[in-house]
Structure 1
């Protein structure tokens, strides 16, 4: 496990209390620290980064070639890598099960934060 400078957020059991607490979050600003707390494991973050990069490459290919099925391939890449990171390394359920839109947004903010060095790769 990485000793990265990610915010410390308490980890609850993956039971109803966690789901209720996350669903009660009313803004992305409130959600993002929780999201980062669910991505403390460096390998999990790296898998997210690789999946997101592959997703962007598939999107670019789909636009360039007008082969729109690659948009689905890109989504599959992104989610597959992320879920392997969560189930295999982070040992938690992806936040997308609790707040899909905020989770999707969080992934792209984390991606940018990794690119800019705010979060370690």
Structure 2
């Protein structure tokens, strides 16, 4: 897919970095690359070789093992570098969440919490139905712990 400008590539790039942990890995990769470049200028010139290794290494780790996609660098190396630096600055200044909202990306944490609540609700109902005595040990819904004994009492009353 050919991109003609940064404005066209930026939404695609952010879609490839939808998880906050992927963006954090990129941030630390870019930070270590910058630190290696500064060290190469002021200390030892050969430290410059560690800049791309650390920067791309941490970023690519996040794509393969966190995000589960192929790095955009493979198809668009120039645009990816520019967008990585833009993302680094946005994270450094605390404006990344605002940018994600502007692009219409939903924070992944909210999606995960919603999925966890629905899955844990199924397990909670399963525990009540098949193991009423174990429902006191479940802690899926901390806000609903006050109603656990009441539901158990209803279950016991109905089973008699």
Task: Give the TM-score normalised by structure 2.
Answer: 0.59
Q: Which has the higher helix share?
A: 2
Q: Describe the SS at the equivalent of 1:102.
A: helix
Structure 2 spans left out of the alignment, 5+ residues: 98-160
Runs of 4 or more above 2 Å deviation: none
Structure 1 spans left out of the alignment, 5+ residues: 1-20
Aligned-pair distance for 1:68?
A: 2.1
The match for 2:45 is: 68
> Is it true that 1:81 corresponds to 2:50 in the alignment?
no
Q: Between Structure 1 and Structure 2, how many residues are aligned?
A: 97
Q: Which has the higher contact order (CA 8 A, sep 6+)?
A: 1
Supply the RMSD in Å over aligned alpha carbons: 0.9
Residues of 2 paired with 1:48 and 1:84: CA distance? 9
Task: Give the TM-score normalised by structure 1.
Answer: 0.77
Question: Which has more radius of gyration?
Answer: 2
